[in-house]
Structure 1
Amino acid sequence: MPTDLEATASPATECEKDFREEKGTLTTRSANITTLAAALKYSEVDLTEWEVERHVINSWEVTISGKRSSSKRDKTYTNYQVKVWLKKRQPTIAENAAEQFRKLVASHSPKKFIRPPRLKSGGYLYELGITDIHLGKLAHSSETGWRNYDSKIAAADYRNATDALLSRAPQGTEEILIVLGNDQFNADNVASTTTAGTPQDCDGRFSKVYRLGVNLSIEAIEKALHIAPARVVIVPGNHDHLTAWHLGEVLRAYFRNNKHVTVENEATPRKYVHFGTNLLGFTHGDRKSELKALPNLMPREMRHVWSSIRHAEWHVGHFHSQKLIEVAGIAVRTLSALCPPEAWHSENGYVGSREGAQGFAFHRTRGLEETFCHNIISEPLRLVK
C-alpha cells in the first residue's frame, strides 16, 4: 500500500475541456491515460457529435526521492499528456440519404394504397424493360454529335417510356414486373465515379440525383398498380452497384405496408422470376465470364424449378444496344439503353444504337407472346455552315 506521501506525489489525472459551437479541445494529464481512445473515453466525448481533427501525445518522467517514501527507494513515474483537437461532425452522405428517406416516408402516409383492379381472367406477366437510364449523365450535343442529355431530360424520357409501355399491357395482366437498377444512376458516389472508380460526366449533386431516382421509381410502381400488382426486381449495374441496392432498400421500406408490391433486393449477383412455365433471369451483363456462362448458370441455380420450365430467357443491359442469341433453348436478350452517348462513348465510336425501352408480355404457359418497343428518335447532328 502506498503511503499518503506517495499517493500525493504520484501523478493524479487531470482533464481540461474547452468546447465551442464548432470546435473543441481536451487535454488529459495522467500516468494511466496513455492513448487517444482512453482520453476520449475518460473525457466522455460524444463521438456521434464530434470527430477528431488531430491529437498529440507527450510523456515525461517524474522521480520521487526515496527519502520521502516509506520504502526508502527512489520511484520513477511516467506522466502522459494527451491533447486532442475536435470539430463538429458533419452528416455523411448515407446519413443525409437516410434523413431524406425519413422525411419522404413521413410526408407520404396514404390512408389507403392504390388497389389494382380485380381480374376476370389472367394469364400474363408484363415486364417493363427500361435499362441504362444513367440518371445524372451529362452530354452536350455540340461535343457528342448526338442529342443533349441531363437529369431533367432523363426523367422525362423515363416517364414517357413508362407511360408508353404500360399503355401496351395486355388484358389479363396478372403482374407488372419492373426491373430497376441496371445503371439507373450514372455515378455511385459523391465523387461522380462508377462503382469501380471511373470518372463520369455528371450534371448535379449525388443526393439530388438519388432523390430523383427514388421518386421516379415510386411513380412507376404506383402507375403500374392501376393495372396489376407490381413486382420490383433490383439489378445492380457497374455504374450504380451500391446506389441500386440502396434504392431497393428505400422502396422496400416505402411500400412495406402495401401487399400489392413486392421488392426483391437480395445481394445475389443474378435475380430470377418464375412465372408459370417461364423463367426469367436478370443481370447487368458487365462481367464477361458471367455473360458467357448465363445459359449454364440458369438450370444450375434454379434446379428446383427447372423441370417445369418451358420458356427461359436472360435479360441484360450494359451494351446500350439490342441483341438476341439462343443457346440450348435459353435466350439471352440484350436490351437497348434509354440514354444517348456522352463524350467518352462518342470519342470511342460507341454511337448510333437505337435508344429506347421494351415491354414483354409473357403468357403463363405459352411464353413470350408480344414485345413492344418505345423508341427515342436520336439523329446525329450535323453542323452546316
Structure 2
Amino acid sequence: MQPSQHLTPAKAFSPDSPAAHPPGLLHRLAAESGFRFNGSDPWDIAVADRRFYRRVALQGSLGFGEAYMDGWWECERLDQLFHRLLRVDADRRIERWVNLRRLGAAARRLLVNPQSRRRAFVPGEHHYDIGNDVFEAMLDPTMSYSCGYWVRARTLDEAQHDKLDLICRKLELKPGERLLDIGCGWGGLARFAAEHYGVEVLGITVSREQQKFAAARCAGLPVRIELIDYRDLAGRFDKVVSVGMFEHVGPRNHAAFFAIIDRVLAEEGLLLVHTIGNYVTSREVDPWIDKYVFPNGHLPSAAEITRAVEGRFLIEDWHNYGPDYDRTLMAWWDNFERAWPALCGKYGERFYRMWKYYLLSCAGFFRARQGQLWQVVMSKRARSAMYRSVR
C-alpha cells in the first residue's frame, strides 16, 4: 500500500456559515443522538467542508465515512459519537433515507452470493494481507484479532490469554486430540492449544500473509497451517473451533458451513463458534465497512445461527460478552496510535483516518449494544457425555 497525500487538518466553519446548518433528517438525528454540528463537546462533529451534508444525504453511511477520510469533518471522540448515533439506530435510518443505493445493494445481494467459493479469498487479500506490521503493532503478542475476555484481565495481553484459555476449556481439549481451527488467523490459538493442551492442530485461513506468519510461529509444534477455503476441508477431528471467521460465511452458506463441520467432527466431539452477532436479522451491511474493511461480510443474528444448526447440532452453551469488544477495540486503538509514527511513512494519512474511523466506530457499535459477541458451544445429538458450561 502506497502512502497517501497528507490531508490538511479540518477546521470548522463559523456557526453562521451555511455548513453549520444541517438539513432535515441530519438535524433530527443530531438532536436525538445528543451531538451537535460545530459544538464544543468531544463527541460533536466539526464540519470543515460545506459539501459534507450533501454527500451524506446522497451516499449515507458510505459518504459519512469517506467524508471523514477526506478531512471534511472532525470529531475528537469518534467512539462517543458513534455510541450516540447507533443507540438511536441512526445508521439504519440514514440508509432507509438513501433508498436508491439501498435498493441497489439489496438487489445485488439477492442476485449474487457475496461469500461464494470464487470470492472466498477476497477478505484475506483486501484486509488481512494489508501488512503484518499494522497488526503486530496493534494486537497483543498472540496476534489475536478478536474480542478479549476481560472478566479478570487488566491488560489486553491478559484478556487475550484468558480468551484463548477459555476456548480451550470450553472445548474440553485433551492431549493427543485433533483440533480443527477454521479461520486460524496468525496462529495464536493453534499455538496456544498445542503448547498448553497438547493437541494436534490443523489451522486454515484465506490470507496468504496469515498463513506464512502462522506457519513460522508454530514451527516445531504439531500444527499445520493451510491456505484453503473451509469448503475444501477433509479429514476427521475431535474438536472444531472457529474464531472471528463466521462473519465471512454469509447467510446463503450458513447451512453448508455447519454441514461440512458435521461431516468432519467426531460423534463425541465439540464445536465452538466465536462470532460477532447482530442484534437483529438483516441482510444489509454497512456500505463503508463493506468497501474499506471487510468486503462481503455479514454479521449473523441469533435466529440465523439457530436456523442453520437446527436438526444438525445441539446448542450446549451460548455465552454473550459483547461489551468486552468495546474495551478490546479501544486497546487496539491505543496501540495503533502509539505505533503510528513508525507506520506513517508506509501507509499515509488517509489510511490513518480510515483505520481510526474503523476501530472507533466499531467501539461505538458494541457500546450501543447493536453489536454482540457470542461464543456458542455445540455438539452432535449422538454425543453421550454431559457438557458442563465453563465461564
TM range (shorter): 0.3 to 0.5
What TM-score do the two structures reach when normalised by structure 1? 0.34
Give the structure with the higher percent helix: 2
Larger Rg: 1 or 2? 1
Give the structure with the higher percent strand: 1
What TM-score do the two structures reach when normalised by structure 2? 0.33
